[in-house]
Amino acid sequence: MADEPLAMPALYQQVAQRLRARIYAHELPPGAWIDEQRLAEEFGISRTPLREALKVLAAEGLVTLKPRRGCQVAEVSEEELDDIFPILALLEAQAVMLAMRRLDADALQRLTALHAELERHAGSLAADRFFEANQAFHAQLLTLAGNRWLMQLVEDTRRRLKLTRRTSLDRDGRIGQSLAEHRAIMEAIAAGNAARASVLMQETSCSVAPRSPASRQAKPRQQASRRQRL
């Protein structure tokens, strides 16, 4: 029996992908209002598939639908980031622990190659390419972890954080700091030290988030406590 031909993505899904890319690139920045009529004309479509696409993005937390007002690109407050990043940190730390159980020579070579991309883009201060290489590095660890539920949770969380994550690399010294963090993680992975790699990943995932004065004071104490246990 011949396989049925693969169906093309529905129109609204294609529109959602275009808008998602613009949001991640900050061509549609956080807080911006979506001009439905202009976008419908630009894409050469009616407003029906556009609105269906916006519903998809709303479900992903990328836009907010406001009755009688329209649609707005979502904003993430510092308080929300303080709530989100510790959760992501725990998830990614677990991903490293699982990945280390399945690490072989080929997987280590792939991670090393991705880290080399981070080194190269950090040297040229190419924030966008560094961001993409960083995403690929973390995605490879998730794939290696082999837990699809964990992967889904991390991807859903990172999708929300993409509203702010790239701009964090524009802060003075942040690319260098991120590279140093990833160097330490790679050294721990290469040494087979799963516990240290996991703790370092947790600290790295938290280091991007802005913090209230109280949480800034708590972080060094928490890091020192974890390192003492290694």
Indicate whether 170 pLDDT > 50. yes
Specify the pLDDT at position 216: 45
Domain-embedded: residue 108? yes
Q: In which domain, by residue range, is 133 found?
A: 78-211+219-228
Strand 70-73, strand 63-66: pairing = antiparallel
Residues 92 and 23 in one domain: no
Residues 84 and 106 in one domain: yes
Q: For the chain, how many structural domains are there in total?
A: 2
Instruction: Tell me the H-state helices in the chain.
Output: 11-24, 36-43, 47-59, 78-101, 105-123, 127-145, 148-161, 165-168, 174-190, 194-207, 213-228
Residues paired with residue 71 on neighbouring β-strands, in sequence order: 65
Burial of 190 (0-12, 13-18, 19+ CB in 10 A): middle
Averaged pLDDT for residues 83-108: 94
Domain-embedded: residue 32? yes
Averaged pLDDT for residues 151-161: 88
